[in-house]
Structure 1
């Protein structure tokens, strides 16, 4: 009963998300030519989408994680969490305004005080629901599912930013697209991946030192907070965040590889 309820919830969220995202695109008052240009700009996002998907396919095969999990998780992350995050961010911001009052400081820090907590929580829950429905609780599956959910969310968020740019001025569409691509290497796909693996390692009591455990658990929200805050306006901050994020991903892959090797050795000894 619980599985059926969760399955219905995620399918309903995806259905709502599809309608929500397509309506925002169809509401644009653009000529056919402009629509084609806008859709072409979406294709530029493949600059980061293809390499990340290729990496996920490679590691899914290496870790014997079913490849169908990748598109399933991408679609769930894109349509099942994107629209919820939009409403969640707005409601949380309204709550902060009522609590703290409107001010320039709150306006400057609003993205940092809302998105990290709302978006990272929703993406994590989506990933955990998928893992629960598929009865997979190892760190390998958590890595693939978490990264795929985050990638789906990242794609739909980038598209929404491009659409917003088209509404303001069509001349800003390509610059906005390139701006989104520049941060794509260490955006939502990596943060959700780290968060999901950290939680699964804790829930499954995987052998992991406390330093790495807490680092992985706190890192996604902390980095998302810094990325969305005025701190990111300082020189080189975004590049440092990207470098550190990729280092954590490499560390996580190394841990998963070593953990899988130890499991295989234990099985051989037992036999």
Structure 2
């Protein structure tokens, strides 16, 4: 019953998330040249997005992972996590800056501070939701679900950066998405997979489902945060 309720809430949130992610594109505030930059930036981003999705699909078949759990992870990471992270980042930015007398340090390290505190838990929530609604127990399956959730968020963030870079002009926007496309090799999908699998191994070692020696993998959780701060 609770699993069905969770699924209904997820589906209910989709229209709001879709509206949030597309409202900037459907507004009349954008000029024709802006749409041209968005289109070119999207084509650049698709150079990694399409192969990544096909690779996830291939690995899912190879590892015998249910396609539905990957769909939920991708949608959850793209829409729900991206939507909530956008609001959460804005809220915490305004809340923190309103209480700091000297803001230079926070502005300099804001991304390193806010990302582990806001984005990583939300991406982890997308992973947990997917494996809860569609139970997955194998390590390969759990790893692939975590990768997919992180990939979904990564795609959402790429499009949000395209919009935020638009006011700085063509060169800045294109160079930004080029950098993110190249950096996609080691980005959110990797952070989420390390964090999720680290927590899975911690949980199973505590439940005596695996040997306690695997609790050394606990350091993988820290890797996610350290890589973000680096």
Shared fold (TM-score greater than 0.5)? yes
The corresponding residue for 1:82 is 82
**Structure with more contact order per residue of length (Cα contacts < 8 Å, sep ≥ 6):** 2
Structure 1 contact 89–114 (Cα < 8 Å) conserved: yes
Deviations 1:149-169 (A, max 9, x none): 111110110111111112332
Q: Does 1:210 align with 2:219?
A: no
The corresponding residue for 1:104 is 104
Query: Deviation at 1:192?
Result: 0.9
Equivalent runs, 1:10-89 vs 2, <5 Å: 10-27=10-27, 29-32=29-32, 34-89=34-89
Which region of structure 1 is more displaced relative to structure 2, 195-204 or 151-160? 195-204
The corresponding residue for 1:224 is 228
Distance 1:138 1:29, change over 3 A: same
Which region of structure 1 is more displaced relative to structure 2, 201-210 or 73-82? 201-210
**In 1, Cα distance between the equivalents of 2:65 and 2:158?**
28
**In 2, Cα distance between the equivalents of 1:98 and 1:167?**
25
Equivalent runs, 1:229-268 vs 2, <5 Å: none
Distance 1:130 1:28, change over 3 A: same
Structure 1 contact 147–193 (Cα < 8 Å) conserved: yes
Distance 1:112 1:34, change over 3 A: closer
The corresponding residue for 2:175 is 175
Any stretches of 5+ residues in structure 2 without a counterpart? none
Secondary structure at the aligned position of 1:45 is classed as helix
Secondary structure at the aligned position of 2:67 is classed as coil
**In 2, Cα distance between the equivalents of 1:96 and 1:116?**
16
Distance 1:28 1:222, change over 3 A: farther
Q: TM-score, normalised by structure 2?
A: 0.87
Secondary structure at the aligned position of 1:183 is classed as helix
Structure 1 contact 28–167 (Cα < 8 Å) conserved: no
Deviations 1:4-23 (A, max 9, x none): 33213322333221100110
Structure 1 contact 138–200 (Cα < 8 Å) conserved: no
Distance 1:31 1:108, change over 3 A: closer
* Count of matched residue pairs: 225
**In 2, Cα distance between the equivalents of 1:106 and 1:135?**
40
The corresponding residue for 1:244 is none
Structure 2 contact 78–153 (Cα < 8 Å) conserved: yes
The corresponding residue for 1:245 is none
